[in-house]
């Protein structure tokens, strides 16, 4: 139950968050007893301060402060967008080689049962840059297509809007594989039949670069892929596009 610590000093800790684990308990998940904050409190024997969030199903780099003033300084960096965040995702279809998705996002209604609905008039700028790393073509029919097409992309979001990457790639018709809210049910269903019933959101926070609030040195932390995503990519590599 211990977390994989990627970096640790007297001021902050960086972990590789596993998929399926909340960052911290929320009003929408009051029944949950397990979260990154609670695990680190026990693992380190001290209180930790969450700085940013990753979706529950997303794996990868997550930084937390060990002091309140450090938390404030780190929070200012995220608010000022001076951090550099890099994600990897598996998406439906073949996006262009390089692209930018500039599409404002509204707040989502977090009321139970209505989380799919955006709140009109709350739109804020949201920009995500991406490049396609690899394309795959699997000889399995899906929906009305004779073959399935998937791509591995690297994404650099400028902001950190709620579900920004997931919503942006849905907007450009390349939803993330395994996404049960914004994704393609046909692709998800086929992959659960031919790959794994435990298919999850294929989104990984690969690296995070920021300035250490105390030493002022630049830290660039990278998190290895979880085994399920690594295994899926190994399988997909046997099916390169022509």
Indicate which residues carry an active-site annotation: 55
- Do residues 74 and 213 touch, judged by C-beta distance below 8 A? yes
The answer for residues whose C-beta is within 8 angstroms of residue 77's C-beta and 6 or more apart is 83, 210, 211, 213
Q: Which of 58, 66, 85 is nearest to 210 (CA)?
A: 85
Q: What are phi and psi of 207, to 5 degrees?
A: -150, 160
Instruction: List C-alpha distances in Å: 74 to 39, 59, 62, 123, 125.
Output: 21, 21, 12, 25, 22
Beta strands in 124-184 (DSSP E): 127-138, 148-157
Which sign, positive or negative, has the C-alpha torsion 23, 190, 101, 155? Answer: positive
- Do residues 8 and 14 touch, judged by C-beta distance below 8 A? yes
């Amino acid at each position: 139950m211990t977390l994989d610590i990627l970096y640790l000093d007297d001021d902050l800790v960086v972990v590789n968050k596993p998929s399926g684990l909340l960052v911290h308990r929320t009003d929408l998940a009051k029944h949950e007893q397990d979260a990154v904050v609670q695990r680190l409190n026990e693992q380190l024997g001290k209180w930790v301060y969450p700085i940013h969030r990753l979706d529950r199903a997303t794996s990868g780099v997550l930084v937390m402060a060990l002091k309140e003033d450090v938390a404030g300084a780190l929070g200012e960096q995220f608010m000022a967008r001076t951090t550099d965040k890099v994600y990897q995702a598996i998406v439906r279809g073949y996006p262009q080689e390089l692209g930018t998705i500039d599409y404002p996002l509204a707040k989502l209604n977090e009321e139970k049962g209505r989380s799919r609905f955006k709140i009109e008039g709350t739109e804020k700028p949201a920009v995500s840059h991406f490049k396609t790393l690899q394309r795959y073509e699997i000889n399995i029919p899906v929906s009305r297509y004779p073959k399935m097409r998937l791509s591995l992309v690297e994404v650099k979001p400028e902001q950190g809007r709620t579900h920004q990457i997931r919503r942006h790639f849905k907007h450009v018709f390349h939803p993330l594989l395994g996404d049960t809210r914004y994704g393609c049910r046909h692709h998800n269903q086929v992959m659960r039949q031919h790959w794994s019933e435990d298919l999850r959101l294929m989104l990984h926070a690969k690296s995070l670069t920021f300035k250490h609030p105390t030493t002022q040195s630049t830290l660039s932390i990278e998190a290895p892929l979880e085994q399920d995503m690594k295994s899926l990519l190994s399988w997909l590599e046997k099916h390169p596009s022509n």
